[in-house]
Amino acid sequence: MSALAQTSWRPDGASDPLATRHGLIGAPVSRIDGPLKVAGQARFAAEVSMPGLLHAGFVYSSVARGRIKAIDTAAAEALPGVALVMTHRNAPRMKPPALFGTTPEAAGASDLPIMQDAEIHWNGQTVAVVLAETREQAEEAAALVAVEYESLPAVTAFAAAKAHAHPPESVLGEPAVLEIGDAEAALAAAAVKVDLTFTTPRQNHNAIELHAATIAWEGDRLTIHDASQLVTMTAATIAQVFDLDPKQVRVLSPYVGGGFGGKCLWDHQILGAAAARLAGRPVRVVLSREGVFRLVGGRTQTEQRVALAATADGKLDALIHTGVAAMTAHNACPEQFTFPARHLYAARTFKLVQQVAEMDMLANTFMRAPGESIGTFALECAIDELAEKLGADPVAFRRGIEPEKDPTSSHEFSTRHLNEAYAAGAERFGWAKRSATPRARRDGEWLIGMGCATGTYPYYRMPGGAARITLTADGRARVAAAAHEMGMGTATVQSQVAAERLGLPLDRVSFALGDTELPPSPVAGGSNQTAAIGAAVIAAHTELVKALLKLAGNASPLAGLSTDEVEGRDAGLGKRGDAARFESYASILRRAGRDEVTVQAEAPMPLELQKWSMHSTAAQFCEVRVSESTGEVRVARFLGSFDCGRILNAKTARSQFRGGIVMGLGLALTEETLFDERSGRIVNATMAEYHVPVHLDVPEIEVIWTDIPDPRTPMGARGIGEIGITGVGAAVANAVYNATGKRIRDLPITLDKLL
């Protein structure tokens, strides 16, 4: 049904023909893993059984910085069922994991050595791992390990760390400091301006599924059933840690119970593998919820300044976004909160500065639109404040500062339809009913307000992905890539796309993933997986067509046609625009005496990103009710209007957007990891006191989209994983202001800040 895409979305080519096709593209297909999950048959990492399995219990340090002076494991070892206690004294020798970003395959969340010496680097670091026949025994024994520490001075207060803040070498490959013109001078000279400070707290992902791994050695071959959003990189990094060939490590992760950036490589998989080697038996690691807080980093805290200067005609004369994020000396995750300001608005001058402040704490990490989620909170609240000062409607004001080209890189946008998203969203939400003056609407003690904000998230397509297609003589296709299914519908959407590309019915196509024996995949992060796999599948499809044309030979109606001239349709290949020249896959293979044909190819480098500025955008609208008596905030309505290129599956996309918005409500109103600055310890390491939104906190959420294909991406799609959360914090805060007349610039917006 469709022409070959080849690699044509690249700078030198045309767009993927699937970008404008209908059929399966965009269809609201239900998740193919749904029935398995409902029936409890989807097997997660913690559910893999193995003969002789041992269970791990963890002991966490209670000091932030120091040395283990003494560690007494005798009582633990004496308990029935305990196989061993691993500490730095008996742990196998391992290399520190290569830090994420230092090589394409590095997955280390930090590059600290893991249980190789007596040093303590954060409060919560693992000091011992107990292996026992049952999890209960392992945890009971873990509580009996007695550790004596020599404490060393630690930097556990943000204010103290901030005094030594400095720009990092780079912010995910972008410069930490970006200045165009003299923004401070423009600000100083401006008649209408805002200059504001925002603070955002630490947060943790809190996926439902706890971090887990079931691990076995067979000689020097290591198998890890993991809950992972980067299987290929995990295998490579674990191989590096244990001095193995990457081929000796297999990571499987067919289902992941939520990732959000948190299901990457942390100490628990490495410690589990080390302990399994020490015991000579397979090991299952399932962190407790507390364990997840102690061993798996979350979003770091920030302090941000946004200063905006307006010209008399409502343009931006200066856009300043600077700030500091807490980080460690052993990781590189500076929380790119200035990224939105690099691409969203036209301004005459810019000053964008990211700094990091090193603390003695668990490495922070990527979480739910790192940077953009909290960066848009600051920027979009400031925009709202400036619009108010100008007496302008915030939607109209944004329209006036919409850039024609990327304002800092000067690249053309691949596509950008934020204005359309705003117009459609405002119309549907009833934005016109908003009163420009705060406190104008009430219902008894409840003040009612509306707010809006822009969301934005970059298009990424990470290199290193490949895909395999096997076409069988009975007219079926099996597509495979290492890839990840974290609940977003990867297999479903990729099956849809592959079926459409091949011209096969959906039930004739399967998509295998979650296994490093399959062709490699980059991290399922940065909302890039759909595009990354899509590009690899396009490359494999081109190879497949080449192979089929060759097999078809001279006796076929396709004889003499080149790959560019044919398309997949009606379970076979046909000449584009010529219904007569066609041969079914079954016929081609049968005639060639083949049961199947298998091809594999790598995705091309993401050159599109070097030429165009590629970003999704969103207009987020919110209505809140705030109790004048108690300051309680209830979100009454929410609408997200998205411009994300082509939407590939209306059903899974809607869930993805809604999920992002729900996380945004948590970011806005409830979520905060309490980090005790005296001890460097997280004190609410529990779902009871770390407040994610519950059902009653989540109102009706409406989601609409432009569905305008991006001609520069595979399938015209841009990835929708994370954009949902962006802009939500500001939309809520702006609505709270409209309701109450109070600007809250410190997240989360808890009721005490409104009393």
Residues annotated as catalytic (active site), given as ranges: 722
Closest approach of Cβ 80 to another protein, in Å? 9
Say whether residue 472 binds another protein (CB under 8 A).
no
Q: How many residues bind another protein (CB under 8 A)?
A: 38
- List the one residue from 197, 409, 410, 629 that touches another protein (CB under 8 A): 629
How far apart (Å, rounded) are the C-alpha atoms in residues 133 and 597? Answer: 47
Binding window for another protein (CB under 8 A); candidates: 375-383, 567-575, 670-678, 718-726:
670-678
CB-nearer residue toward another protein: 457 or 675: 675
**Rounded distance between C-alpha atoms, residue 168 and residue 300, angstroms:** 15
Q: Rounded to the nearest whole angstrom, what is the least distance from the CB of residue 526 to another protein in the complex?
A: 30
Stretch of 411-419, 498-506, 530-538, 692-700 contacting another protein, by CB under 8 A: 692-700
What order do you get walking across the sheet with 126-132 strand by strand?
A: 82-86, 126-132, 54-60, 283-286, 212-218, 221-226, 249-252
Nearest distance from C-beta of residue 688 to another protein, angstroms? 7
Cβ(384)–Cβ(585) below 8 Å:
no
Nearest distance from residue 686's CB to another protein, in Å? 7
Stretch that binds another protein, among 2-10, 645-653, 731-739, 744-752 (CB under 8 A): 744-752
HSE (CB half, 13 Å, CA atoms) of 160? Answer: 10
- Candidates 656, 575, 481; CA nearest to 31 is 656
Residue number with CB closer to another protein (329 or 692): 692
Rule CB under 8 A: say whether 143 interacts with another protein.
Answer: yes
Which of 606, 614, 607, 603 is CA-nearest to residue 521? 603
Q: Applying CB under 8 A, does 674 fall inside the site for another protein?
A: yes
CB 137, min distance to another protein, A:
8
673 near another protein, rule: CB under 8 A:
no
User: Which of the ranges 41-49, 416-424, 431-439, 623-631 carries the binding residues for another protein, by CB under 8 A?
Assistant: 623-631
Name the residue with tokens 């939104």.
Answer: 693
User: For the window 261-290, what string marks contact with another protein as x by the rule CB under 8 A?
Assistant: ---------------------------x-x
Q: What is the C-alpha end-to-end distance of the chain, expressed in Å? A: 61
Query: What ranges make up the beta strands (E) of 274-393?
Result: 283-286, 302-310, 316-327, 347-358
Q: 160 or 185: whose CB is closer to another protein?
A: 160
Q: Does 170 bind another protein (CB under 8 A)?
A: no
Q: Binding of another protein at residue 689 (CB under 8 A)?
A: yes
Out of 90, 409, 562, 686, the only residue in the binding site for another protein (CB under 8 A) is 686
Query: Interior CA angle at 577 toward 574 and 579, to 5°?
Result: 55
Q: In the chain, what's the furthest Cα-to-Cα distance?
A: 83
Question: In sequence order, which ranges of 362-489 are alpha helices (DSSP H)?
Answer: 372-389, 394-400, 418-429
The DSSP line for 16-48 is: -GGGG--TTTB--PPPTTHHHHHTT-SPPGGG-
Residue 128 and residue 344: Cα distance in Å, rounded?
48
Pick from 117, 136, 427, 474 the residue near another protein by CB under 8 A: 136
Residue with smaller CB distance to another protein, 184 or 632: 632
CB under 8 A: which stretch of 14-22, 234-242, 300-308, 631-639 binds another protein? 631-639
Residue from 49, 579, 678, 700 in contact with another protein (CB under 8 A): 678
Q: 218 - beta bridge partners?
A: 221
Q: Concatenated DSSP letters for 110-158? A: ----SSSSSEE-STT-EEEEEEESSHHHHHHHHTT-EEEEEE------H
Check if the beta carbon of residue 490 is closer than 8 Å to that of residue 521: no
| Site for another protein contains 65 (CB under 8 A) | no
Query: What are φ and ψ of residue 44, in 5° steps?
Result: -95, 170
Instruction: List residues binding another protein (CB under 8 A).
Output: 62, 123, 136, 139-140, 143, 288, 290, 444-445, 629-632, 634, 669-670, 674, 676, 678-679, 681, 683-686, 688-689, 691, 693-697, 750-752, 755
